[in-house]
Structure 1
């Protein structure tokens, strides 16, 4: 589970105890910048004035300009529109507009204004108001981002979504896409709509204001027993989709997330949501992502982080000998801000010793998407607001409008998906930071987590918890150092026993594991099968019948089947072969087998059933059924006939009777021959399967012996090696994926292309060229190629290319150059050129391939490869690789000190393996 949003600035607490005469109303917070006023006017023109909601509009305003925004918007809506005032209560069916040169918050239904922070502090009024709405307004909230540049509002929408509110962004109708697209890319938007549809959605949500308020973090909704059962069903869907059991997580948060999803789909009860999950399997995965709180921040809780830096980290570093690593585990790291904060503080504490003392920071989380973002280490301006300018300059690099953590810091952190409650823990940790995760777990899971942490820490290791957390009933494992800080030290008079799930992990969790199944009797739905069979019976048949599967198991009965079927003595069974009269069993098996083999109906007439008193004659038929679930089913029909009809074929001409008997005998021989062949084939398959099972059993026995001889290193040291290897594998996969994307783009998407005449003037260009170089046909066609734009193609390499093309008339491919797209942007491109003669005129084709990202990733891979090789070669443990012939293919520095005789013996024992020995 990830961490929740950090609380507001502790110094801003002057208005936290306001008392109101009535309960605050749900607030719709709307943010906009450039083009936002136009979108807001359109939204108001479609919005009724009596929704019962309160509206607050925050726009980027010049501090010294009287915008008259309230006067302009009042002409678009019958609602009262007024400029917000300090300590003004929020009332329903009103629109409040932020005044210039102010920052605004909402505290329990009251608007609180404060002066705008002086430059160079960034001014993000939308994020400020959205985050205060999520943290201090303890009722349902709706956040909307309209047209605007940059990324203001993204962090605020994330906070509102975490608190259980609804988030909306304007679609492509926005004049400026910066703000809406930033929120959409971050994955914090529930709906992307034009202003008219936003108004319609607000009208719908206003009719469910009571349900919307239940999404509040402080609301404790009373649920009956039926809702508890529905909640268990919903969590069962999530466990099936994501493999994580939320049954022992706090139900308040889970209900709040589920109610938020119900609002989006216009559902009234949990039972309705259960039905929706059954019809839409993908929803369970979306709900799983909603249950994970993917919000955190750099240097969260400044007082706590300062205490860790000045008190805890110096103690850890001071107790290290030369070459001994500082090991830190950040559990529930979310998108990585806390892990990077720990790395930065550790580097600051070490100072000049940072190069001589290894630092290992393991950061884990349940969310794969959060781990992927953490590995990238790229954050927006809003996400680095809590980083001081000095740290920002030293440990970050600015890339476009974002900040990326420097390689020095990224190399210290290893990010990996990890389930704290089921996966093997790390070991020998100096410090474990797990903040604001335990508040979502019940007592049983909390005790399990503390047991895991006690095992993972060194005897003098430290545990850091969130402000609202404590060790509770696990005080036998930890003791608190200071009352003012949630820092605990490990007790060594108690030994914690942890239970680890040793189930093997699949390398491809998204692919289902194939298992051997013998039959399936589950239908798509009972109503569908009833309709299918009834239509068939009504069209052609009226006799008694049964529906069976490929193993003759009866699924449904039709009509009166008592003359032909009866219950056998002993254990109850619905198998047709056991319920049918003994005189019919062979023929039933035969016609079902033929129907399965030929996919056509099969029939047998005139079968005699011996009963005391008088025999019964019956015709049987097997009809294959095609159904939407692709199940192999058969409809077996029983038709009782009179004795005369049964004996028709037995009377008449003797020769005819002989021919009939010979035909039956031939058919029987063919059936017997087919059965024998299939039996032989089945025997061979069974023998082959048995051999495979024996081989697999031997392999499992060998694996079991190895596991039995292994000790705690399998649970701790190997887990660390696996995590590091997984980190490298993930980065290799990212590089492979980048190559695949590049190939797909070259084959399916048009590249920027130019057509030049014989005088090197541009005849035409494709739309990709216009879009990439921010130009159009009017400014491009007829221009000399060297004079295009800001003369970005007037450089020696490009002139030499065109000269070579004209002189030798040979295609030129793969010229790599740096092209300046604009004053602030330069791209690395590969130019392809070819000269053609069309209608006795010479033309030149130029193609431009953008490889900027490819070169950046290639450098990153080389850096990671060198780092890993250096790490293995300098490891204190001996590491070597032997081939099948016993020859050592790789040996690190530590292996050079091993005596030759011992190396030969080790090579004989571990031939063909990757070996690590301490």
Structure 2
């Protein structure tokens, strides 16, 4: 909050908790093309938003910047370099000097002289991350035009802290900086500089952006006992299968308030109503709640200690033929998993160790697990990985790097809830960093008991730098308090698997307290003997078109209407597979339509299919197919297939259209050529899908291995629970 003199060269971003500044800081980062963008932004921004603006741009150390003079012409706000001011005030613009670098020390931004010839460090990331750590939700991060990926990680930190994030749209002259953040999914608003200014003005007028007291915290605006908060948590539990009531409620409320601010909603009741109507918003809140920040070799010193002492000791302790087993809990997108794997492979090579190892990695987020399994990372994400390691463990794929097969093969990824799913067992080392800080005390204790159960005797646990074992000192003793390394204690009574925090087993228990409108889509109209119901039944039986409901395995689940013209049960083994029952002349088009409906999730039509040509009666059938995805409350995706057709007399058809036999042949040839082209296209598509299926099979195999591990952890408890026969 208070920048010191140039001699001290510090900007204090914040005072201690309880005395925060009550205004928002807008942090703006840019590189090439950034001057034009910041100029447009300030030109359209009123001078009385009540916010402070701090701007950092990648500039050459050897050319004196004229930023202050240039920006002063575009706004009525005072523009100054940060080292000239005594404290940060609202309605002011602050510029980081071109000849300074930014570092962070004890939560404060520090300006240090930048040596000649040295490129600027990731100053945008440093600025954003520091402000996020100290100002929490009172930060708005903006990335304007620029090259590279500086700012992406910082925006993620701002979003994690409850702040809002912006990135410039296609109007950016150099789009790689904003595009990097957009592709990472950490941007709330993608706008032009002019539109950003308009949005910032709206946010500044929102009640959630204003606090009347320095001691007032935003989350205080939502009571823990609020029925609307309870409704939101129940919806998350019911639809996402995660009980967030065990998480720190202030964190949950900050995420909710962030979403409310994005939608310009002032009351939690209105947001509760929105989330009940819009599944997409529930998805966005869920994603916000699970947002995570991770890096390769995060906390370098901790990894050095791990590689020098802990891992060698564990490898040495394994008997011949044993496997070193590691669990990385809350693994996010896999960076830490692969970091540990690289360290172990290097240790094996240097010490000629032949001890095999397996890393089990889990996370609550299915999306994060998919990214981890893919194992593809941008150069920015690999900034902590040495060129030597990149050359050894990664393969360049376009603009990204993919982990090598050797690295991928030793890592198994699975979606897993530490609090409610059976734990892995017989582990030698567990890493769970920066997850416990989000849990309430009781849930933390449960997680620690789970880790104790999962570890072998003498096994090690590694936590995040802000975490401790808390009230679980009877389970672990510290190996290194600085880097949060612990060893498992033998503790009487701790060998049973800890009780899991259950999800509500009966769905009704989840739904009983929800407002009626949250469940309106599930309303079932009771059967009735009324005249209307009878009328509907007769109409359906007489006039409904031939149709069936099928699943994605092509199995028919229900028949409606006169389907015998199109479907028939063949002799031999009974089957309800629609392709086996269908008239052979429509099988090709039917298969094609179903394939495309599954792939596109859209209705697919196939019209004027000629079948059942009868040389005796000189007639044929024209069949139309319609395949539509069917919305269902069941988890299983379904399709509705509708058949319509009519019989045509060939002579009348030819006379009406004045079509000759040769023209009919030509049309038939053209039809066959179209079918051949379509078949070739489908073969290419099927080949691509086969590659995708192979990847999914690998993922499924990892899930099976993970489930097997969980089941093995349950076996000892079942053995204890079973009564002895006498």
**Alignment partner of 2:89: what SS?**
coil
Within a 5 Å distance, the mapping from 1:399-548 to structure 2 comes to: 399-496=397-494, 497-498=496-497
Q: Which residue of 1 aligns with 2:273?
A: 275
**By how many angstroms is 1:172 displaced?**
2.2
Distance 2:90 2:690 in 1: 53
**By how many angstroms is 1:210 displaced?**
5.4
Greater alpha carbon shift after TM alignment, 387-396 vs 38-47: 387-396
Q: Which residue of 2 aligns with 1:172?
A: 170
Distance 2:93 2:393 in 1: 43
Given that 1:217 and 1:256 are in contact with CA atoms closer than 8 Å, whether structure 2 keeps it comes out as no
**Alignment partner of 1:432: what SS?**
strand
Distance 1:192 1:284 in 2: 20
Within a 5 Å distance, the mapping from 1:609-688 to structure 2 comes to: none
**By how many angstroms is 1:244 displaced?**
0.3
Q: 1:356 to 1:14 in 2, by over 3 A?
A: farther
Distance 1:502 1:124 in 2: 42
Q: 1:244 to 1:523 in 2, by over 3 A?
A: closer
For the pair 1:381 / 2:379, whether they are aligned, the reply is yes
**By how many angstroms is 1:428 displaced?**
0.8
For the pair 1:153 / 2:163, whether they are aligned, the reply is no
Choose which of 74, 77, 100 in structure 2 pairs with 1:76: 74
Distance 1:455 1:217 in 2: 42
Q: Which residue of 2 aligns with 1:230?
A: 228
Distance 2:533 2:243 in 1: 42
Q: Which residue of 1 aligns with 2:645?
A: none
Q: 1:381 to 1:90 in 2, by over 3 A?
A: farther
**By how many angstroms is 1:19 displaced?**
6.4
Given that 1:331 and 1:364 are in contact with CA atoms closer than 8 Å, whether structure 2 keeps it comes out as yes
Structure with the bigger RCO (C-alpha within 8 Å, sep 6+) is 2
Q: 1:374 to 1:740 in 2, by over 3 A?
A: farther
**By how many angstroms is 1:500 displaced?**
6.7
Q: Which residue of 1 aligns with 2:535?
A: 598
**By how many angstroms is 1:93 displaced?**
0.9
Distance 1:400 1:112 in 2: 37
Distance 1:181 1:288 in 2: 23
**Alignment partner of 1:314: what SS?**
helix
Q: Which residue of 1 aligns with 2:333?
A: 335
**By how many angstroms is 1:261 displaced?**
0.7
Q: 1:56 to 1:127 in 2, by over 3 A?
A: same
Given that 1:45 and 1:77 are in contact with CA atoms closer than 8 Å, whether structure 2 keeps it comes out as yes
**By how many angstroms is 1:14 displaced?**
7.4
**Alignment partner of 1:137: what SS?**
helix
Distance 2:393 2:690 in 1: 20
**By how many angstroms is 1:319 displaced?**
0.9
**By how many angstroms is 1:206 displaced?**
1.3
**Alignment partner of 2:234: what SS?**
helix
Given that 1:331 and 1:433 are in contact with CA atoms closer than 8 Å, whether structure 2 keeps it comes out as yes
Q: 1:109 to 1:482 in 2, by over 3 A?
A: closer
Given that 1:29 and 1:144 are in contact with CA atoms closer than 8 Å, whether structure 2 keeps it comes out as yes
Distance 1:111 1:396 in 2: 34
Within a 5 Å distance, the mapping from 1:86-97 to structure 2 comes to: 88-97=86-95
**By how many angstroms is 1:47 displaced?**
0.7
Q: 1:534-567 CA distances to partner (integer Å, 9 max, x unpaired)? A: xxxxxxxxxxxxxx96456xxxxxxxxxxxxxxx
Given that 1:316 and 1:430 are in contact with CA atoms closer than 8 Å, whether structure 2 keeps it comes out as yes
**By how many angstroms is 1:87 displaced?**
7.1
**By how many angstroms is 1:121 displaced?**
7.1
Given that 1:86 and 1:113 are in contact with CA atoms closer than 8 Å, whether structure 2 keeps it comes out as no
Distance 2:126 2:456 in 1: 41
Q: 1:103-161 CA distances to partner (integer Å, 9 max, x unpaired)? A: 23688998632234787877322222111221233561001112223222211111110
In structure 1, stretches of 5+ residues that fail to align are 1-11, 505-512, 514-521, 528-547, 553-591, 602-738, 749-833, 835-850, 873-918
Q: 1:618-654 CA distances to partner (integer Å, 9 max, x unpaired)? A: xxxxxxxxxxxxxxxxxxxxxxxxxxxxxxxxxxxxx
Within a 5 Å distance, the mapping from 1:734-753 to structure 2 comes to: none
Please give the TM-score of this superposition, normalised by the length of structure 1.
Answer: 0.53
**By how many angstroms is 1:503 displaced?**
10
**Alignment partner of 2:303: what SS?**
helix
Please give the TM-score of this superposition, normalised by the length of structure 2.
Answer: 0.66
**By how many angstroms is 1:346 displaced?**
1.4
**By how many angstroms is 1:330 displaced?**
0.4
Distance 1:346 1:111 in 2: 36
Q: 1:16 to 1:100 in 2, by over 3 A?
A: closer
**By how many angstroms is 1:286 displaced?**
1.3
Distance 1:261 1:235 in 2: 15
Q: 1:93 to 1:354 in 2, by over 3 A?
A: farther
**By how many angstroms is 1:861 displaced?**
6.3
Q: Which residue of 2 aligns with 1:367?
A: 365
Q: 1:236-284 CA distances to partner (integer Å, 9 max, x unpaired)? A: 1211221100011111111111111110111112222212222323222
Given that 1:343 and 1:412 are in contact with CA atoms closer than 8 Å, whether structure 2 keeps it comes out as yes
**By how many angstroms is 1:452 displaced?**
1.5
Distance 2:690 2:9 in 1: 46
**By how many angstroms is 1:422 displaced?**
1.4
Distance 1:331 1:389 in 2: 28
**By how many angstroms is 1:458 displaced?**
0.9
**By how many angstroms is 1:378 displaced?**
2.2
**By how many angstroms is 1:295 displaced?**
0.9
Q: 1:298 to 1:122 in 2, by over 3 A?
A: farther
Distance 1:118 1:595 in 2: 86
Q: 1:646-701 CA distances to partner (integer Å, 9 max, x unpaired)? A: xxxxxxxxxxxxxxxxxxxxxxxxxxxxxxxxxxxxxxxxxxxxxxxxxxxxxxxx
Q: Which residue of 1 aligns with 2:293?
A: 295
Q: Which residue of 2 aligns with 1:700?
A: none
Given that 1:25 and 1:109 are in contact with CA atoms closer than 8 Å, whether structure 2 keeps it comes out as no
**By how many angstroms is 1:169 displaced?**
1.3
Q: Which residue of 2 aligns with 1:346?
A: 344
For the pair 1:188 / 2:193, whether they are aligned, the reply is no
Distance 2:96 2:486 in 1: 45
**By how many angstroms is 1:350 displaced?**
2.1
**By how many angstroms is 1:218 displaced?**
11
In structure 2, stretches of 5+ residues that fail to align are 1-7, 508-514, 539-594, 605-676, 678-683, 706-726
**By how many angstroms is 1:288 displaced?**
1.0
